[in-house]
Amino acid sequence: MLPTNSCSSPTMSSPELKKVTVSLPKRLDRSSERWHHYLTIDLIWYVLGYTLFHPWTSWILVLCLRAQYTKYHAPEMKIAMAWAMLMSAIGIFHIFSERLAFGSPREVDLSDEVIVITGGVDGLGGLLAETYGMRNANVAVLDTKRVDDEEAEEKGVLYYQCDVSDAKQVEAVAAEIVEDLGPPTILINNAGIAHTKSILDTTAEEVEQTFRTNTLSHFTTLRIFLPYMLREGRGTIVTVSSVLGHLGAANLSAYSASKAALLALHHSLRAELAQNPAAQEIKTILVTPGQMSTKMFVGVTTPSNFLAPVISPAEIAKSLIRMIEKGDSGELAVPLYAQYIQILGALPVGMQAIIRRWSGVDTAIAKAGLVKKDTSEKQ
């Protein structure tokens, strides 16, 4: 008889299993927001862009009508065909317009690119750095905040403690980046600070600091990193501005002015690159986001979540990464109202005043309790 292995019976005495209480991370908890909180004009526009306003979907409707033996002279067939031709014409015009303005896209292979991100520890820059790091890209981050070597190795990112407002520090770090990773080919100018004070309470030092970090640092990084791109014959330069560069806002005068300067800098950069034969494969992207859910403006809300939703850095990062890797130039303005904010300046001044009051752009910082007072003597 073959020997049989005896198994312990469940009723037999055995050590009790240790009970472990598990709690889901807070981010996985069910949101307390109602369903309509997530219904925004951006979502509706996105869905329409892939359905009613998409040329392919429009022609599918025509084919469906023909499958039902609808006559070509029938009113519904005429309307469907007219709509499909209109959407196709708009789509073709958009393609030609983009190609005329920005030229052909360049080829991007992440294994051959060296990505430099300023202000890449937190917020949008941090998300971009970590995303590229997970994809084994060559990423160098310039930030005043220090990151432990263990954390940097885990994220696959090289962090250089550097104040981008100091040209000498940037020059020194640039030499290290070239030695460690190679010539930079993608520059994401993202570093920024804000002093939430009125003009009267803002000191000269704070204004200078804001412009050095938000604006002058772009001139510094361009002067240092652009020559490498010209020698490589390829590159992408991302300028992160803000919708406040078009609007301005109370208690954010220095921040708004520094971001407005970046709009002019971007267009000037594009004009100069267009005149340089060696810069044909250097692409430029202007990012003008609306209210983001970052630490810089925590607690700031918009008057209408439907028309002006607060966007997450992930939404911007996803679209920006797509543009960079497609090798495109262009402008990235989100949410939807940011794409048409310049129309506000063409409206009658009275209507502009009404819209500003309704939007709460000039009271948002105060309502969030972020306004800081300075009782020291002004310079």
Closest CA to 69 of 77, 79, 57, 81: 77
d(CA 179, CA 200): 46
Q: How far apart are CA 245 and CA 254, in angstroms?
A: 10
- From the list 313, 317, 319, 345, the residue with the least C-alpha distance to 245 is 345
Rounded to whole angstroms, the Cα distance separating 352 from 32 reads 35
Starting from the edge strand earliest in sequence, which strands make up the sheet with 158-161, in order?
158-161, 138-143, 114-118, 186-189, 235-240, 282-287, 330-332
Query: Is 46 among the residues known to form the active site?
Result: no
Measure the CA–CA gap between 123 and 259, rounded to whole angstroms.
Answer: 17
For 9, 17, 196, 234, the CA distances from 242, given in Å and listed in that order, are 68, 56, 15, 26
Among the listed residues 132, 259, 283, 337, the single catalytic one is 259
Tally of CA atoms within 13 A in the half-sphere of 52 that contains its CB: 5
Neighbouring residues of 54: CB distance < 8 A, sequence distance ≥ 6: 87
Quote the CA–CA distance of 266 and 157 in Å, as a whole number.
Answer: 27
How far apart, in whole angstroms, are the C-alpha atoms of residue 145 and residue 124? 15
Give the CA distances from residue 319 to residues 88, 257, 283, 328, in Å, rounded to whole numbers and listed in that order: 24, 26, 16, 12
Q: Which of 255, 318, 326, 378 does the annotation list as catalytic? A: 255
Give yes or no: 255 in active site: yes
DSSP SS3 for 238: strand
Token code pair at residue 286: 């202007």
* Type of residue at 180: D
Strand 138-143 with 235-240, pairing? unpaired
Which of the residues are catalytic? Answer: 255, 259
